[in-house]
């Protein structure tokens, strides 16, 4: 097992060296009295010309988490955020709830109020060190993180950090919480040895039960009016192409309620809008892919004799206290592997269903065209409205963006007036609905894709909740401009 040894002065510096070795590019932070060893470590990096992880000072914790969230959405890489003890954690909880519900792997760390009152390097020495301590610092967010731990000493540093990365990246992904006592961070050391390369497999696809795939194919092949419902399949951009292939080859319409990612090309003839309810009465088979709320049961439900299939890394959404959608077949899998397997399984049914597929494709394309005509007529009806109608504003945004533009939406982008054809170009707020995400997420997206135009569409409340002054500070300091529509 290969080892790498580096010179350090403290556990805090060793922590940064380990993050660099594990591929962490940025360190989003809002500092406090627990940060001195971390600051010393970054000073050492600057002196040595080491560029990663690069510290990003964010003057509010919620904005820091949102930036990490946005950076992950574009890159797919785990992120690191550090805040100040209990109070910093409290400020960041809104962002962590968003990250948890959106399966974003963030190594969320916070200093721990010094454990000792005297006698150690790093013992308490300012007034706040007594009142800032809590009996269970992680307790305030334990429901929303996959794992939490407190670093006890330098000897376990590598194991603990690698465990945090492992837990964050294992499906379903999500944030973890690590607390770092000041005495531990400030421990004096001369060297740090770590495994290089890491011997922890981070992630990997979750493959479905083959029999479940065959059963799903049989249900869809025998259906007269199948329907696909998704809201987040575009979290993995590669999965979008597989969904397009499935829908196109077998003439299955796709609807995207509560669109949070670019999931299906808007101009594709199998795209039938952004609501399931108009199609549920006739749907005899519904394939729900990466969608927590495929319809509103109080408004409409599929027929009692229709079949419902759910596909996702956690198709039951086990961390939701109440969720009672019917599921005749649940398949645990990443869509990027489950969808092509389903398409292959359906191929054996094609010959017997080809005439029905062709007729359905023609009928659905006509419906798609009628739908788009209605959307254009709705736009014409508000073109001259004052104040400006959100439909018209969305249309104007659609006119200035190109296929590579990234749109970060928190509130009022009207989906019927904005066309998206490329995966990874639309990101919506978490289903948790913690306001204040969009502005920071847009900055994180711009940091990840500096050559692309990033447009943030925000409601006035979303903008104010998003700590605009800290966000504009970071935008100016890092030269990462974004275009905002409020």
pLDDT at 210 over 90: yes
For 270, counting Cβ atoms within 10 Å of its Cβ (0-12 exposed, 13-18 middle, 19+ buried), the class is buried
Average pLDDT over residues 178-183: 95
| Residues 89 and 237 placed together within one structural domain of the fold | no
User: 384-418: b or e for each residue (b if 16 or more CB lie within 10 Å)?
Assistant: eeeeebbbbbbbebbeebeeebbbbbbbbbbbbbb
Average pLDDT over residues 83-107: 97
pLDDT at 203 over 90: no
| Residues 164 and 123 placed together within one structural domain of the fold | yes
Q: Which residue has the tokens 């196109």?
A: 248
| Residues 237 and 368 placed together within one structural domain of the fold | yes
**Residue pLDDT, tens place only, 359-415:** 999 999 999 999 999 999 999 999 999 999 999 999 999 999 999 999 999 988 999
Instruction: Record the tokens describing residue 373, joined without a space.
Output: 């005509």
How sure is the predictor about 14, in pLDDT bands with cuts at 50, 70 and 90? Answer: very high
Instruction: Record the tokens describing residue 299, joined without a space.
Output: 């408004």
pLDDT at 198 over 90: no
Answer whether residue 75 is part of any domain.
yes
**Cα angle for residues 339, 342, 344 (degrees, 5° grid):** 110
For 365, counting Cβ atoms within 10 Å of its Cβ (0-12 exposed, 13-18 middle, 19+ buried), the class is middle
pLDDT of residue 468: 94
| Residues 143 and 40 placed together within one structural domain of the fold | yes
Cα–Cα separations (whole angstroms), residue 28 to 68, 71, 178: 7, 11, 15
Answer whether residue 190 is part of any domain.
yes
pLDDT at 122 over 80: yes
How confident is the prediction for the chain on average, in pLDDT?
95
Answer whether residue 151 is part of any domain.
yes
Instruction: Record the tokens describing residue 406, joined without a space.
Output: 């990234």
pLDDT at 236 over 80: yes
**CA–CA separation, 215 and 211 (whole Å):** 6
How sure is the predictor about 15, in pLDDT bands with cuts at 50, 70 and 90? Answer: very high
Q: How many CA atoms lie within 13 A of 446 on its CB side?
A: 23
Answer whether residue 426 is part of any domain.
yes
134 CB contacts (<8 Å, ≥6 apart)? 86, 140
**Residue pLDDT, tens place only, 375-389:** 999 999 999 999 999
| Residues 348 and 219 placed together within one structural domain of the fold | yes
Cα–Cα separations (whole angstroms), residue 317 to 72, 78, 364, 447: 21, 22, 31, 31
**CA–CA separation, 182 and 477 (whole Å):** 28
Among 347, 374, 401, which residue terminates a domain? 374
**Which domain CATH number covers 137?**
3.40.50.970
Among 331, 357, 374, which residue terminates a domain? 374
Q: Which residue has the tokens 């454990």?
A: 115
Give the relative orientation of helices 61-75 and 85-101 as an angle to the nearest 10 degrees.
Answer: 30
Answer whether residue 277 is part of any domain.
yes
User: 164-176: b or e for each residue (b if 16 or more CB lie within 10 Å)?
Assistant: bbbbbbbbbbbbb
Answer whether residue 148 is part of any domain.
yes
**Residue pLDDT, tens place only, 32-84:** 999 999 999 999 999 999 999 999 999 999 999 999 999 999 999 999 999 99
**Residue pLDDT, tens place only, 287-332:** 999 999 999 999 999 999 999 999 999 999 999 999 999 999 999 9
How sure is the predictor about 485, in pLDDT bands with cuts at 50, 70 and 90? Answer: low
pLDDT of residue 413: 95
pLDDT at 204 over 90: no
Answer whether residue 55 is part of any domain.
yes
Per-position DSSP letters for 126-162, written without gaps between them: STHHHHT--S-GGGGTGGG-S-EEE---GGGHHHHHH
Answer whether residue 295 is part of any domain.
yes
pLDDT of residue 200: 83
Average pLDDT over residues 185-196: 93
Strand partners, 97: none
Going by their DSSP bridges, the two strands 79-83 and 26-29 should be labelled as parallel
8 Å CB contact between 177 and 86: no
Domain with 317, as residue range(s), is 210-374
- Structural domain total, the chain: 3
| Residues 217 and 171 placed together within one structural domain of the fold | no
pLDDT of residue 199: 84
Strand partners, 191: 7
Where helices occur in 322-467 by DSSP H, the ranges are: 335-347, 350-382, 390-400, 438-448, 460-465
pLDDT of residue 188: 93
| Residues 133 and 155 placed together within one structural domain of the fold | yes
| Residues 26 and 111 placed together within one structural domain of the fold | yes
Least confident of 105-109, 132-136, 202-206, 225-229: 202-206
Q: Which helix (H) or strand (E) holds 428?
A: strand 426-428
Instruction: Record the tokens describing residue 248, joined without a space.
Output: 């196109």
Strand partners, 121: none
**Which domain CATH number covers 325?**
3.40.50.1220
Q: Tell me the percentage of the chain whose pLDDT exceeds 90.
A: 93
**Cα angle for residues 312, 70, 94 (degrees, 5° grid):** 85
Strand partners, 230: 289
pLDDT of residue 4: 92
| Residues 390 and 295 placed together within one structural domain of the fold | no
Going by their DSSP bridges, the two strands 426-428 and 79-83 should be labelled as unpaired
Going by their DSSP bridges, the two strands 307-312 and 285-289 should be labelled as parallel
How much is the pTM?
0.96
Among 331, 354, 374, which residue terminates a domain? 374
| Residues 292 and 439 placed together within one structural domain of the fold | no
**CA–CA separation, 206 and 360 (whole Å):** 32
8 Å CB contact between 364 and 265: no
| Residues 328 and 393 placed together within one structural domain of the fold | no
pLDDT of residue 481: 86
| Residues 360 and 262 placed together within one structural domain of the fold | yes
Q: How many CA atoms lie within 13 A of 272 on its CB side?
A: 25
pLDDT of residue 486: 60
8 Å CB contact between 71 and 54: no
How sure is the predictor about 433, in pLDDT bands with cuts at 50, 70 and 90? Answer: very high
**Residue pLDDT, tens place only, 270-295:** 999 999 999 999 999 999 999 999 99
Where helices occur in 49-135 by DSSP H, the ranges are: 61-75, 85-101, 128-131
Cα–Cα separations (whole angstroms), residue 42 to 5, 74, 444: 18, 26, 21
């Amino acid at each position: 097992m290969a080892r790498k040894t580096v010179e350090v002065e403290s556990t805090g510096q060793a922590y940064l060296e380990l993050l660099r070795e594990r591929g962490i590019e940025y360190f989003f932070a809002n500092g406090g009295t627990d940060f001195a060893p971390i600051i010393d470590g970054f000073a050492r990096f600057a002196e040595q010309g080491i560029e990663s992880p690069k510290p990003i000072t964010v003057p509010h914790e919620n904005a820091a988490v949102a930036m990490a969230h946005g950076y992950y959405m574009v890159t797919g890489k785990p992120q690191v955020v550090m805040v100040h003890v209990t109070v910093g954690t409290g400020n960041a909880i809104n962002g962590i709830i968003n990250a948890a519900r959106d399966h974003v792997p963030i190594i969320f760390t916070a200093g721990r109020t010094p454990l000792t009152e005297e006698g150690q390097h790093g013992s308490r020495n300012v007034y706040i060190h007594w009142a800032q301590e809590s009996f269970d610092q992680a307790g305030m967010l334990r429901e929303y993180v996959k794992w939490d731990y407190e670093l006890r000493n330098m000897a376990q540093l590598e194991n603990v950090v690698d465990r945090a990365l492992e837990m964050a990246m294992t499906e379903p992904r999500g944030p973890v919480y690590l607390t770092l006592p000041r005495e531990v961070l400030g421990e004096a050391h001369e060297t740090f040895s770590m495994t290089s390369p890491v011997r922890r497999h981070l992630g990997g696809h979750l493959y479905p039960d083959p029999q479940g795939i065959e059963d799903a194919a049989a249900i869809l092949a025998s259906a007269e009016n199948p329907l696909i419902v998704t809201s987040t399949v575009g979290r993995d951009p590669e999965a979008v192409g597989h969904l397009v292939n499935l829908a196109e080859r077998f003439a299955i319409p796709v609807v995207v309620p509560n669109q949070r990612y670019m999931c299906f090309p808007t101009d594709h003839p199998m795209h039938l809008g952004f609501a399931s309810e108009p199609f549920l009465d006739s749907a005899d088979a519904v394939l729900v892919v990466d969608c927590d709320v495929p319809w509103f049961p109080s408004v409409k439900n599929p027929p009692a004799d229709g079949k419902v299939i759910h596909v996702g890394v956690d198709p039951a959404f086990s961390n939701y206290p109440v969720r009672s959608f019917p599921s005749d077949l649940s398949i645990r899998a990443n869509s990027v592997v489950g969808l092509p397997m389903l398409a292959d399984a359906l191929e054996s049914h094609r010959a017997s269903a080809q005439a029905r597929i062709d007729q359905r494709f023609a009928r659905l394309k006509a419906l798609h065209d009628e739908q788009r005509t209605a959307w254009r007529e709705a736009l014409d009806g508000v073109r001259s409205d004052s104040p400006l109608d959100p439909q018209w504003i969305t249309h104007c945004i659609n006119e200035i963006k190109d296929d590579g533009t990234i749109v970060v939406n928190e509130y009022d982008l009207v989906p019927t007036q904005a066309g998206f054809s490329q995966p990874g170009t639309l990101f919506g707020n978490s289903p948790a609905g913690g306001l204040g995400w969009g502005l920071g997420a847009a900055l994180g997206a711009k940091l990840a894709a500096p050559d692309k135009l990033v447009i943030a569409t925000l409601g006035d409340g979303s903008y104010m909740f998003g700590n605009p002054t800290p966000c504009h500070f970071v935008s100016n300091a890092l030269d990462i401009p974004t275009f905002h529509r409020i």
